[in-house]
Structure 1
């Protein structure tokens, strides 16, 4: 399952009202580490389909939600469950580490 692009407008429906946990990757085109973790997130999205939705939000195109959440540096991965923020991980990490972190929170 490919990662899902989320916008300020779709955030409520796609993330907060989602029937399953959603990991939102806050990123930007100019961010090198963001590009490094993108393939790992795509793979995790496939491997964990049905358990968690992996979503991406471009903080340049969308400023409302990152502002409300207080995103100050990227890449920032925030896990939402039942409409609430339950965990966050700042910075790039290897795929195994990201996946283990997601599993530990779920």
Structure 2
């Protein structure tokens, strides 16, 4: 009798990583549009209003860059987890098969 495989749900990990990548692509498009639109506004504004808007935009871009990096890391972690779980399952199956062979002669 072969040991039962507990199989990590590869499709769920793959779908989650793909959803993150799709979301990041959409966020990048929105960010690029916002930056492009803001360049027109910044050039039209002067004084304190222009400076405040520019500072707020820079802070937003920095926060987005941090968020993007975290989401990239999370997507990579999902792929790594999937690979690690598959390796662990394969090792467990091999050990179970060895044990099964030992007890059955």
- The TM tier, using the shorter chain, reads under 0.3
Greater relative contact order (Cα 8 A, min sep 6): structure 1 or 2?
2
Structure number with higher strand proportion: 1
User: Normalising to structure 1: TM-score of the pair?
Assistant: 0.20
User: Normalising to structure 2: TM-score of the pair?
Assistant: 0.20
Answer with 1 or 2: which has the greater Rg: 2
